[in-house]
Amino acid sequence: MFFKKLIILLAIMFLVSSSVMAKNKPVLETDMRELFQNNNAVIYAINIRTFNANDVNGNDIIDIYDSESVGTFINAIARLDELKELGVNTIHLLPITPVGKIKALGTAGSLYALSDFHSINLQLVDEKCDLSPKEQAKKFIDECHKRDIRVLIDLPSCGSYDLFLNRPELFVQDSDGNAIIPADWLDVRLFAVPDTEKEIIGSDIYVLHRIFVDYMIDIGADGIRADVATIKPYAFWKELIKYARNQKKGFLFLAEASELWTEPASSKAYFTDYKKLLEAGFDGYYGDYFDLKNWTKMEDLSNSVHNRHKILKKYSDKKSVIGSFETHDVVSPLLTGGENFSKIIIWLNATLPLNPYYIDGFLQADDYMYEYSNKLADETYTDDEYYYVHQGQIDIFNFSRKPGSDSNILLDEHKMAMDIRHAFKDVITKGQFIKLKTNNEKVFAYQREYNRKSVVVICNRNLVSTENVKVKIQKINKKSKVTFVKSAKFGSLEKSNYNATLRPGEIVILTVE
């Protein structure tokens, strides 16, 4: 009992002292929130461990003892100009905190099996560099900022088994003292978080999250992406977000949450829905765009956009969403729908009222099918002897190859889409979303309109069959300048009616001025 009281006393002393220090520190600034709130963030998610890894022999795994190299903060800098050319202005760094090695998944350990809140994962560090791990992370972020690229850093929602062994008091436990495994996430355990403001402020778990925020701000981060944000209570996030923004004005908080998620990850876990998370101070969330694979009619898409607009406009400060069509938790669109489906995602990302979001490798046409998947490993750095992989998803469990392929077809499509987004920036970021009248519900057709300019998107959502369609385009007259950016081989525009025969997955893009 004495020891427990001492821990609480020390935690309170830390909070008081850090608050005093915070008052004496200048408040830093970033434009990340403004960028995101106005749908101007183009986000690219990367796993530093693989981002610029060098797989010499082409077996998909990094054989460190065979002169192959993993991705590090230092060698990642070489690829930043490439991202800049793609129009990326925000990087989402998958977790950079140390990972657990006990009861682990994969030979390097899951990025989301957090074992320490206030240090850098040494797997991401260049041992030949004279800079400290923290300095290397800061250098990477500084180089991003030189290129006008902001950086969001992932905050894992749960702790590794290693952390449970060291700090069991941080975790929810059953009657036998066993930590709770949320959902089917076998390598992590559920944190114990109080649910009242008074209890939260003095809790060890809150102190650690504040330390994490301090560390991220210290290395120059512009915001945090909260993994499974629903798993912590409203009051916890409200306090943490307020604390972060007192240190850095404009600091972004992005919640991994969706309208489609309505159940807790465990019977022992909290469930805070996306509306309460936004109310707590989050600037945005994931929406439901990852469900695109199940949308077969234009009504599915338009309902999603309009319902979200109604919800977000209720908040006094601006809120937005990301284009969550493909993330590290989503099977590659190349596998679920093929090349044409992937192109549809690129154009939806570029033209809908959202912040475009890509996972490393998608634009390079990677299907994330790894040769070594779930095979016995030659070498392991955890207690898992197998190359654990979620086939079809970017590898977050092993030292694996750089994501990508030899194909540039999606990169070329993305460049075309981003050129339109840039040329019609106000239309895309501020414009009205208009569902267009068609005679074929299998064709997605909408218009973004602002200040007498429009971008019109028409695509055959049917990936199997050709579809005939007649689309009524709005605000076209004899003086309108109509430009076809992408047009159908069999299509014609008569006054305001566009008639076309669209091949499976075919996309038509036109602009009206």
pLDDT tens figures, 137-158: 999 999 999 999 999 999 999 9
CA-CA-CA-CA dihedral for 216, 192, 156, 376, to nearest 10? 140
Q: What is the mean pLDDT of the chain?
A: 94
What DSSP designation does 289 have?
G
Question: Residue 8: its pLDDT value, please?
Answer: 47
CATH topology of domain 430-512: Immunoglobulin-like (2.60.40)
pLDDT of residue 350 exceeding 80, the answer is: yes
Question: Residue 4: its pLDDT value, please?
Answer: 45
Residue 26's pLDDT band (boundaries 50, 70, 90)? confident
Q: What is the mean pLDDT of residues 271-280?
A: 97
Q: DSSP assignment of 139-188, as one string?
A: HHHHHHHHTT-EEEEEE-SSEEHHHHHH-GGGB-B-TTSPBP--TT-TTE
53 within 8 A of 400, measured Cβ to Cβ: yes
pTM of the prediction?
A: 0.94
Q: Tokens 């959202």 — which residue?
A: 354
pLDDT of residue 13 exceeding 70, the answer is: no
With CA atoms as reference, report the closest residue to 216 among 481, 28, 470, 38.
28
Produce one character per residue of 55-90: b if its CB has 16 or more CB atoms within 10 Å, e if not: beeebbbbeeeeebebbbbbbbbeebeebeebbbbb
400 within 8 A of 366, measured Cβ to Cβ: no
pLDDT of residue 2 exceeding 60, the answer is: no
Residue 453's pLDDT band (boundaries 50, 70, 90)? very high
The tens digit of pLDDT for each residue in 167-179 reads: 999 999 999 999 9
Residue 433's pLDDT band (boundaries 50, 70, 90)? very high
Q: What is the mean pLDDT of residues 79-104?
A: 98
The tens digit of pLDDT for each residue in 397-425 reads: 999 999 999 999 999 999 999 999 999 99
As a whole number of angstroms, the distance between CA 126 and CA 70 comes to: 9
Confirm or reject CATH 3.20.20.80 for domain 2-287+369-402, answering yes or no. Answer: yes
Question: Residue 197: its pLDDT value, please?
Answer: 84
pLDDT of residue 3 exceeding 70, the answer is: no
As a whole number of angstroms, the distance between CA 325 and CA 86 comes to: 18
Question: Residue 67: its pLDDT value, please?
Answer: 82
Question: Residue 17: its pLDDT value, please?
Answer: 53
Question: Residue 22: its pLDDT value, please?
Answer: 47
Residue 23's pLDDT band (boundaries 50, 70, 90)? low
Question: What is the domain partition of the chain in residue ranges?
Answer: 2-287+369-402, 430-512
Q: What is the mean pLDDT of residues 215-231?
A: 98
Question: Residue 276: its pLDDT value, please?
Answer: 97
Tell me the pairing of strands 284-285 and 320-321: parallel
As a whole number of angstroms, the distance between CA 280 and CA 275 comes to: 9
pLDDT of residue 27 exceeding 90, the answer is: no
433 within 8 A of 309, measured Cβ to Cβ: yes
